[in-house]
Amino acid sequence: MAAVVTTLAFFLIQLAPGDPFVWILENPGIDATLRDRLRAQFGLDQPVAVQYVRYLANVARGDFGHSFAMSQPVATVIARALPNTLLLMGTALALSFVLGVGLGVVQAARPGSLPDRASRGLALAFYSVPDFWLAALLLIVFAGWLRWFPPGGDASLFAESLAPWRRALDRAHHLVLPALTLVLVTTAAVSRFQRAALLDTLAEDYVRTAIAKGLSRRAAVLRHALRNALLPVVTLLGLALPALLGGAVFVERVFAWPGMGSLLVNAVTQRDYFLLTGCVLVGSLTVVAGSLLADLLAIAADPRQRRS
């Protein structure tokens, strides 16, 4: 099943940018030898179908083609940028999960109360707001007016000369605003979902059984209800990964965080075919891998899904 999904996704990615578009080979940025090599290797003058096969074969060998914009092999460029994006996404995901679940629990504990409705309103606001605008706002307020955080990049200019742990701290300092943007939006989404899931489980009979056994309401909710309510949330995270990646890309653009987003910007302005395709491919694979992980987690956590 997993293999089928991966293959399908793989294939479809090729389908997308592979629509018959302008031939980037006419880009003056590459010299003749390179162009010839690429043409031969990727079969760029062959029918579209052949190209796909060639491309796949090349990718399997680790060759994503050559980036005109950056004058380097695409694989190298992506390999440098991907970890940055993963760092951003990973931090945001972890924090959002913890905060979102916590918030959802608090809201579900007293549905309809003032804290519930107020925080739900806030969550709706953050959920609806376009992430890049939120990023811009945060940038203006916290980096522009208050100057608490740096306006962009992932390291200060002088970072190279710092001791390792100071460098890490500097990096973290730069990470705060971009991560915060993503966290705010994702937490809102998670809490919405968690609240609904928890309200559903609270109505289940086994919560009543737990109380009848002598557990306090709080213990019953935390130990019994929550455990069940977390399951759909984990699944949700898997589904939300594509959106998170999209969000990360935008945020990177605003904060000039050197990840896939910035790569994408370059690729876009330069109409860099290989880089674009490479980005999309790698991005999709990352997302698929992430969802698979989430699926596995969900199966592990729910005994009803395991096949004994």
Partner 1 sequence: MSAAARRAGAPRLLEALAPLRRRPSVLLAVTVVAGVTVLALLAPWVAPYDPAAAVGPTQAPSALFPLGTDGAGRDVLSRLLHGARISLAVAAVATLVAATLGTAVGAVAGYAGGRTDALLMRLVDALLALPRILVLIALFALWEGLPLPVLVLLLGAMAWFPLSRLVRAQVRAAASLEYVLAAQALGAGRARVVLRHVLPNVAGAVLVASTLVAGEVIVAEAGLSFFGVGVQPPDASWGSMLDDARGYGFAHWWTALPPGLALALTVMAINHLGDALRDALDPRQLPQP
Partner 2 sequence: MTDATSHAMGDARGDGTSATPPPAASPLLEVRDLRTYFRTDAGVARSVDGVSFDVAAGETLGVVGESGCGKSVTALSILRLVQPPGRIEPGSSVRFEGRDLVTLPEAEMRRVRGNRIAMVFQEPMSALNPVFTVGDQIAEVARIHDRASKREAWRRAVEMLALTGIAAPAERAKQYPHQLSGGMRQRVLIAMALMMNPALVVADEPTTALDVTIQAQILELLQDLQARLGTSILLITHDLGVVAETARRVVVMYAGEVVEETDVRTLFAEAHHPYTEGLLRAMPRVGERRERLAVIPGTVPPPTAWPAGCRFHDRCPYAWERCAREHPPLYAIGRRGGPPHASRCHLAEEPERRAHPHPPLVAQEART
Q: Does 303 bind partner 2 (CB under 8 A)?
A: yes
- Choose between 120 and 224: whose C-beta lies nearer to partner 1: 120
- Choose between 226 and 240: whose C-beta lies nearer to partner 1: 240
Shortest approach of partner 1 to residue 176 CB, angstroms? 17
127 binds, among partner 1, partner 2, none (CB under 5 to 8 A by kind): partner 1
Residue from 28, 205, 269, 307 that binds partner 2 (CB under 8 A)?
A: 205
Q: Does 204 bind partner 2 (CB under 8 A)?
A: yes
Q: Does 192 bind partner 2 (CB under 8 A)?
A: no
245 binds, among partner 2, partner 1, none (CB under 5 to 8 A by kind): partner 1
Residue 308's Cβ-count burial label (10 Å; 0-12, 13-18, 19+) is exposed
Identity of the amino acid at 66? H
Q: Does 307 bind partner 2 (CB under 8 A)?
A: no
- Choose between 268 and 297: whose C-beta lies nearer to partner 2: 297
Shortest approach of partner 2 to residue 205 CB, angstroms? 4
263 binds, among partner 2, partner 1, none (CB under 5 to 8 A by kind): none
211 binds, among partner 1, partner 2, none (CB under 5 to 8 A by kind): partner 2
Look at residues 213, 187, 216, 14 and name the one whose alpha carbon lies nearest to residue 101.
Answer: 187
Q: Does 112 bind partner 2 (CB under 8 A)?
A: no
Shortest approach of partner 1 to residue 106 CB, angstroms? 20
Look at residues 144, 166, 77, 134 and name the one whose alpha carbon lies nearest to residue 250.
Answer: 134
Q: Pick the piece of the chain touching partner 2 (CB under 8 A) from 8-16, 30-38, 111-119, 221-229.
A: 221-229
Q: What is the 3-state secondary structure (H, E, C) of the chain?
A: CHHHHHHHHHHHHHHCCCCCCCCHHHCCCCCHHHHHHHHHHHCCCCCHHHHHHHHHHHHHCCCCCEECCCCEEHHHHHHHHHHHHHHHHHHHHHHHHHHHHHHHHHHHHCCCCHHHHHHHHHHHHHHHCCHHHHHHHHHHHHHHHCCCCCCCCCCCCCHHHCCHHHHHHHHHHHHHHHHHHHHHHHHHHHHHHHHHHHHHHHCCHHHHHHHHCCCCHHHHHHHHHHHHHHHHHHHHHHHHHHHHHHHHHHHHHHHCCCCHHHHHHHHHHHCCHHHHHHHHHHHHHHHHHHHHHHHHHHHHHCCCCCCC
Q: Pick the piece of the chain touching partner 2 (CB under 8 A) from 185-193, 199-207, 240-248, 285-293.
A: 199-207
- Choose between 63 and 302: whose C-beta lies nearer to partner 2: 302
113 binds, among partner 1, partner 2, none (CB under 5 to 8 A by kind): none
Q: Pick the piece of the chain touching partner 2 (CB under 8 A) from 81-89, 107-115, 120-128, 222-230.
A: 222-230
Residues binding partner 2 (CB under 8 A): 204-206, 208-216, 224, 227-228, 231, 301-304, 308
